[in-house]
Amino acid sequence: MAIELGLNEEQSMLKTMARDFLATETPKTFVREMMDDEVGHSPELWKKMAELGWQGLVFPEEYGGASMNFRDLTILCEEMGRAVMPGPFYSTVILVGLPILDFGSDEQKAEFLPKIANGEIVCTLAALEESGDLWADDLHFRALPRGDGYALSGTKMFVTDAKAADYMLVAARTRRTQNPEDGITLFMVNAKEWGIYMDNMTVMDLTRKQYAVRFTDVPVSASNIIGELHGGWPILQQIAFKASAVLSAEMVGVGEMAMEMTVAYLKDRMQFGVVIGTFQALKHKAADMYAAMEYSRSLMEWAAECVKENDRDAPMAVSMAKSYCGDSVKFVTDAGVQLHGGIGFTWDHDMHLYFKRGRYNDTAFGDGNYHKEVIARQLEANLM
């Protein structure tokens, strides 16, 4: 199957619709309101998105979804990045909805997917611990057998949108063997259970809230295990894989918007009696920003297509997109602040929202350096 880049007619319509909707529903006044809000989730917006079919975009129709594909989903997420949209869409759909669709039992899919699709519930993933890395050896959080089920104890960190969540997909250690990747199990846990304590983390990117979540003997039924007992690690890897493609799409939206804002400013701002875009030092930086975003888009589209087609290049493509988009979004938003001068350093200007959202997306599931190491190993293996 040949990989095709660019958008078809239906996808262009989806993109336009998303851009229009977000322009109306999530203007910067709304984004800033959510930044100041402790939970950062608007149930009204959530409901409206569900009416458009966004949460269930890639779910089959039998689960209340729209049966669209992964590439379509990345188009939506790109627009969300462009709008620096706050709220738990990423946490719910990408981090929990997709793994339930891919690994859940028929009963679990029937239980959770329609509720996600119709906007009834918010979910999130609780996987990381003290190291902040998705690394099997760092996963100590315990699930001990109790009665017919398990009891969860430990602290999860960097849990996005936990206060808005109705359910958390929790990665816990159910046994410890020589192989740290063995003995990890994923549980779907009611976030309102007794014994769950949430502590706000004071984060840089306020459009995506994060929490340290402490569990003390929280009971969970064995029927809420997603995938196999002790077999959660490959699922976590699959979550990281798809989330990386989605985060790359968001970064394309974030970076392109930061670039467009900057180019508009260069055409408007006067100094020394001329618009500053006349100066080559600034022009050349703008040209480099443009190139960085064009290549980011190219890699992201390639990666998203590979994921959609289940192409054998998909792991390499996703790591390349994640690394390059992360490096680019950091470069472009940094240049965005710099080229705006003093106004770009203020809280009131929107550039820092893009700068910070870019940083979140770059860090999550491995930054550029991490993915370059993954790529280097893969390249070496391909040589053998």
Partner 1 sequence: MVSSEPEKLEALREEVRAFLRENLPQKWGTPAYEPLEAGSEEQIALSKSFTKKLYDAGYTAFGIPAAYGGIERPPQEIAVIREELRRQGTPFPFVGLGRLVVDTLLQWGTEEQKKRFIPPILRGEVYWIEGFSEPNAGSDLAGVQTTAVRDGDEWIINGQKCWTSGWDYGEWGFFLCRTDVNAPRHRNLSFFLFDCSTPGFSRRPLRQMTGEAHAQYGELFFDDMRVPHENMIGEEGRGWYVAMTTLIAERGGGQVSAASGETGGMGLGLFGARTIGGVDSLIELAKKTKHYGQTAWDDSSFRGRIAQIAIENEAMRAYGMRLGKMIMSGSASGNEASMAKLTWTEQGKRRGDMVCEIIGAYSQLMRGDSRAVDGGDLVYGMLMTRGTTIFMGTSEICRNILAERILGLPRQ
Applying CB under 8 A, among 50, 201, 203, 275 the residue interacting with partner 1 is: 275
Is residue 13 a contact point for partner 1 (CB under 8 A)? Answer: no
Give the separation between CA 377 and CA 9, rounded to whole angstroms: 38
For partner 1, give the closer residue by CB, 142 or 372.
372
Is residue 375 a contact point for partner 1 (CB under 8 A)? Answer: yes
CB of 345 to partner 1, least distance (A): 22
Structure tokens at 318: 């996703």
Q: For residue 188, give the nearest of 114, 111, 240 by alpha carbon.
A: 111
Is residue 153 a contact point for partner 1 (CB under 8 A)? Answer: no
Applying CB under 8 A, among 21, 46, 215, 324 the residue interacting with partner 1 is: 324
Structure tokens at 181: 């990747």
Give the separation between CA 118 and CA 16, rounded to whole angstroms: 22
- Contacts with partner 1 by CB under 8 A: the residue count is 41
Applying CB under 8 A, among 15, 67, 290, 363 the residue interacting with partner 1 is: 290
For partner 1, give the closer residue by CB, 45 or 293.
293
For partner 1, give the closer residue by CB, 238 or 378.
378
Q: CB of 110 within 8 A of CB of 155?
A: no
CB of 257 to partner 1, least distance (A): 14
CB of 244 to partner 1, least distance (A): 14
Is residue 49 a contact point for partner 1 (CB under 8 A)? Answer: no
For partner 1, give the closer residue by CB, 18 or 316.
316
For partner 1, give the closer residue by CB, 173 or 297.
297
- Compute the chain's Rg from CA coordinates: 21
Is residue 267 a contact point for partner 1 (CB under 8 A)? Answer: yes
CB of 380 to partner 1, least distance (A): 6
For partner 1, give the closer residue by CB, 186 or 266.
266
Is residue 168 a contact point for partner 1 (CB under 8 A)? Answer: no
Stretch that binds partner 1, among 148-156, 159-167, 320-328, 341-349 (CB under 8 A): 320-328
CA 160 to each of CA 96, 207, 312, 320, 355: distance values in angstroms, whole numbers, following the listed order: 12, 10, 31, 25, 18
Applying CB under 8 A, among 302, 331, 355, 360 the residue interacting with partner 1 is: 302
For partner 1, give the closer residue by CB, 156 or 285.
285
Is residue 301 a contact point for partner 1 (CB under 8 A)? Answer: yes
Applying CB under 8 A, among 284, 341, 343, 346 the residue interacting with partner 1 is: 284
Stretch that binds partner 1, among 148-156, 243-251, 282-290, 346-354 (CB under 8 A): 282-290
Stretch that binds partner 1, among 38-46, 89-97, 220-228, 270-278 (CB under 8 A): 270-278
Is residue 241 a contact point for partner 1 (CB under 8 A)? Answer: no
Is residue 298 a contact point for partner 1 (CB under 8 A)? Answer: yes
Is residue 317 a contact point for partner 1 (CB under 8 A)? Answer: yes
State the SS3 of the chain. Answer: CCCCCCCCHHHHHHHHHHHHHHHHHCCHHHHHHHHHCCCCCCHHHHHHHHHHCCCCCCCCHHHCCCCCCHHHHHHHHHHHHHCCCCCCHHHHHHHHHHHHHHHCCHHHHHHHHHHHHCCCCCEEEECCCCCCCCCHHHCCCEEEEECCEEEEEEEEEEEECHHHCCEEEEEEECCCCCCCCCCEEEEEEECCCCCEEEEECCCCCCCCCEEEEEEEEEEECHHHEECCCCECHHHHHHHHHHHHHHHHHHHHHHHHHHHHHHHHHHHHCEECCEEHHHCHHHHHHHHHHHHHHHHHHHHHHHHHHHHHHCCCCHHHHHHHHHHHHHHHHHHHHHHHHHHHHHHHHCCCCCHHHHHHHHHHHHHCCCCHHHHHHHHHHHHHHHHC
Is residue 16 a contact point for partner 1 (CB under 8 A)? Answer: no
Q: Site residues (CB under 8 A) for partner 1?
A: 2-3, 5-6, 263, 266-267, 274-275, 277-278, 280, 283-284, 286-288, 290-291, 294-299, 301-302, 316-317, 320, 323-324, 369, 371-373, 375-376, 379-380, 383
